[in-house]
Amino acid sequence: MTPSYSYKLFEKSDYSAFWALFTDNLINLLVLSGVCRFVFGMPAEIVFGRILPGAAVAIVFGIVIYTLLARRAAARAGRDVTALPYGISTPVMFVYLFGVIGPIYWATSDPMLAWQVGIGAGFIGGIVAGLGAIVGPMLKAVTPRAGMLGTLCGIALVYIGAVPLAEVFEQPLIGFASLAIILWGLVGRFKLPFDMPAGLVALAVGVVIAMILGESRISADGLGFYPPMPYFGDLVAGIQHLWANPELFLVLIPVQIYNFIETMNNVESAEAAGDEYPVALCQVTDGAGTMIGALFGSPFPTTAYIGHPAYKRMGAHAGYIIGVGVVIPLAAIFGLLAFLGDLMPVAAAAPVLVFVALSLVANTAQSVRPEHMAAVGFAMLPHVSDFLIVKWGSLIGALGATGVEGLPSLGDPALTAALLQQGAHYSGHLALSQGAILTGLIWGAIVASLIDGRFKVAAGFTLAGAAMSSVGIIHGASLQFPSLEGPTGGYLIAGAFFLIYPMVLGDRAGERGDPVVDEPAPAPSRAPAE
C-alpha cells in the first residue's frame, strides 16, 4: 500500500472514455428493447417499466464495485489505474433473447411468461457465473495469455470492429465524419481544438450531420417515469417454469460458462495493459449483478466488458464508468433511451466501437511474446466462423421475409451439400461457431503451449476440449450425454499425439527444426513526417 498516494476518480480524459462506454451500453439496451417489443410483442410496461430499469440497477451495482476495486488497485500500485468497463454482455444477450425468451414466446404467445422465464434464467445464470470464481483463478493461472486474449481479439475484430465499420459504410456521410475524428483524436492521439474529447466531438458531429440529412429525429415516444422495483413473484414463477422445462438449462449453462470465461479473459486483458484485478471477485461481482438485475426485472447477464486497454489508452480513471452509472439509470428511469436512439444514428456512434476493437488487438500484440502471435491468430478464427453462421442465418431469414417460399433451413442436408459445392463449408463453420469463445481459448492455449515446448500442457487443453465437445459445451447445439462422435475423437487423437510422441523422442522432443520461411529483417525506422 502507498498511503500518501491519492487516486483521482475523475480526469479530463474520462470524458472521451465515457462516450465510448456509454455508446456501447446504449446500443445494447436499444437492441434488446427493440427485439423484446417488436419481435416478442412485449408491451412498453414490461420493456420500459421493468427490463430497462432492472438493467440499470444491475449496471449501477457493478459500477460501484468496480470503482472500489479501481481505488484499491491504485492504492496497491501507487499509481493511476483504469477501472474495468462494465455492462450487459452482448453475445450472451443475444443467446438469452433467442435461446431462452424467444422459444417461450413462440411456444405460448405469452410475452409476460417469456419475460418471467427470462428473469428466472438470468437469476440462475448469475449463480452459475458467480460459481466461476471457484475455478477462475486456477484457469487464469494455467491458461497462456495468448489463448485468453486471442479469443477476445476474435470477438473484438468481428463484432466490435467489422460490424460497426460496415454500419459506418452504410451511411458514409455521417459515419466518415465521426470516423475521421476518432482516428485523429483517439487512434492517432492528436489534440482537437480546446482539448475537446474526441469521443464527444465525433458523436456531436455525426448527430448534427444526421439531423441535416434527416437521419436523426427528436421524439418524445417512451418518455415517462419508470422506477425500478423488485419482482419476487414473477421471478419465482419464471424459475418454476424453468424447472418444469429443464431443456432450457441446455442453453443456459453453457452460455453462463462462457460468461465467466469472458470475465476471466477481460481481467487478463486489463492485467496485460498494466492494471491488476482479482479475477474471482470480478466473477462474483458479475454473477451478483446479474442476479440483482433479474430480481429487478432484467433477464440479461452483466459482465466486465471487453475494451479495458482502449479506455486505458485514453487515460481514463474511474470517472468514465461512474458517468455511465449515472446517465444510463437516469435514461432508463425516465424513458430517455428511446429518445437517444432516435437522436443518435448508429453510424455516428459506431466509430467509437471500432476504436475499442483496434485498441484491444493492438494491446494484445504488445502484451504477448512475438512468437505467440500465431496462437493469438488461431484463437481468433472460431469467431469468424461464428460470424458466418450468424449472417447465413440472417440471409435465410431475410429471404423468407421478402416472400420467397419453400426455403430450406440452415442445416438442411441438400442445402449443406449445395453450399459445399460453392466452397462454403457450413458443417465445419457450424462446429467452430458453437462455443466459439471457449474453442478459441482452448486452441490458442494449445498452440501457445506447443510453441513453448510444453507438450503435457498442450495435451491437457486438448483433452479438456475433448471433454467439453463430448457433452456439447463446444461444437454442439446443446448439452448431451457423452459421445465420441464428431470433433471429440479428433481431440483425443491430437491429445494422444501430444502426450506420446514426445515420450518416444525422449530428449530430442525439445529440438526445433529450421523455420519454413526465414523471418524478414526488421523494417528501417523512419522519422515521422512533418
Q: Tell me: pLDDT of 3 over 60.
A: no
Question: Cell numbers 451478483 correspond to what residue?
Answer: 288
Q: Tell me: pLDDT of 221 over 90.
A: no
Q: Do 285 and 387 sit in the same domain of this protein?
A: no
DSSP type of residue 344: S
Burial of residue 201, with CB atoms counted within 10 A of its CB: 0-12 exposed, 13-18 middle, 19 or more buried: buried
The domain in which residue 106 lies consists of 13-153+217-345
* Residue 204 resides in a domain: no
Q: Do 336 and 421 sit in the same domain of this protein?
A: no
Q: Do 335 and 387 sit in the same domain of this protein?
A: no
% pLDDT > 90, the chain: 32
DSSP type of residue 87: E
438: amino acid identity, one letter: L
Q: Do 329 and 476 sit in the same domain of this protein?
A: no
Residue at which a domain ends, from 306, 323, 345: 345
Q: For residues 14-36, b (16+ Cβ closer than 10 Å) or e, as one string?
A: bbbbbbbbbbbbbbbbbbbbebb
Lowest mean pLDDT among 166-175, 341-350, 387-396, 433-442: 341-350
Split at pLDDT 50, 70, 90, the class of 5 is: low
Residue at which a domain ends, from 345, 363, 385: 345
* Residue 468 resides in a domain: yes
Q: Do 274 and 139 sit in the same domain of this protein?
A: yes
Residue at which a domain ends, from 328, 345, 362: 345
Q: Do 279 and 420 sit in the same domain of this protein?
A: no
**Confidence at residue 254, expressed as pLDDT on a 0 to 100 scale:** 60
* Residue 224 resides in a domain: yes
Q: Helices in 273-318 by DSSP H: which ranges?
A: 279-295, 308-313
* Residue 269 resides in a domain: yes
* Residue 272 resides in a domain: yes
Lowest mean pLDDT among 12-26, 134-148, 265-279, 406-420: 134-148
14-23, 93-102, 240-249 — which one is most confidently predicted on average? 14-23
Closest by CA to 312, choosing from 84, 19, 47, is 84
Question: Cell numbers 420467397 correspond to what residue?
Answer: 404
Number of domains in the chain: 2
Evaluate the CA torsion angle 104, 108, 109, 113 in order and state its sign.
Answer: negative
Q: Do 95 and 232 sit in the same domain of this protein?
A: yes
Q: Do 311 and 386 sit in the same domain of this protein?
A: no
Q: Helices in 171-296 by DSSP H: which ranges?
A: 172-182, 198-213, 232-244, 249-272, 279-295
Instruction: Flag whether the pTM goes above 0.75.
Output: no
Between 310 and 173, the more confident residue is 173
226-240, 270-284, 401-415 — which one is most confidently predicted on average? 226-240
Between 456 and 511, the more confident residue is 456
Rounded distance, CA 84 to CA 100, Å? 28
**Confidence at residue 514, expressed as pLDDT on a 0 to 100 scale:** 55
Q: Tell me: pLDDT of 57 over 90.
A: yes
Q: For residues 216-237, b (16+ Cβ closer than 10 Å) or e, as one string?
A: beeeeebeeebebeebeebbeb
Q: Do 223 and 108 sit in the same domain of this protein?
A: yes
**Confidence at residue 417, expressed as pLDDT on a 0 to 100 scale:** 93
* Residue 175 resides in a domain: no
Q: Do 337 and 248 sit in the same domain of this protein?
A: yes
Lowest mean pLDDT among 160-174, 335-349, 378-392, 425-439: 335-349
Q: Do 317 and 392 sit in the same domain of this protein?
A: no
* Residue 74 resides in a domain: yes
Quick: pLDDT tens for 254-279: 667 767 777 887 888 888 888 999 88
Q: Do 331 and 385 sit in the same domain of this protein?
A: no
**Confidence at residue 425, expressed as pLDDT on a 0 to 100 scale:** 93
**Confidence at residue 524, expressed as pLDDT on a 0 to 100 scale:** 45
Q: Tell me: pLDDT of 2 over 60.
A: no
Helical axes 111-142 vs 249-272, angle rounded to 10°: 40
* Residue 524 resides in a domain: no
Q: Tell me: pLDDT of 7 over 90.
A: no
Lowest mean pLDDT among 14-28, 77-91, 164-178, 242-256: 242-256
Mean pLDDT over the full length of the chain: 84
CA 331 to chain centre: 23
Mean pLDDT value across residues 287-316: 89
Split at pLDDT 50, 70, 90, the class of 446 is: very high
29-43, 134-148, 247-261, 429-443 — which one is most confidently predicted on average? 429-443
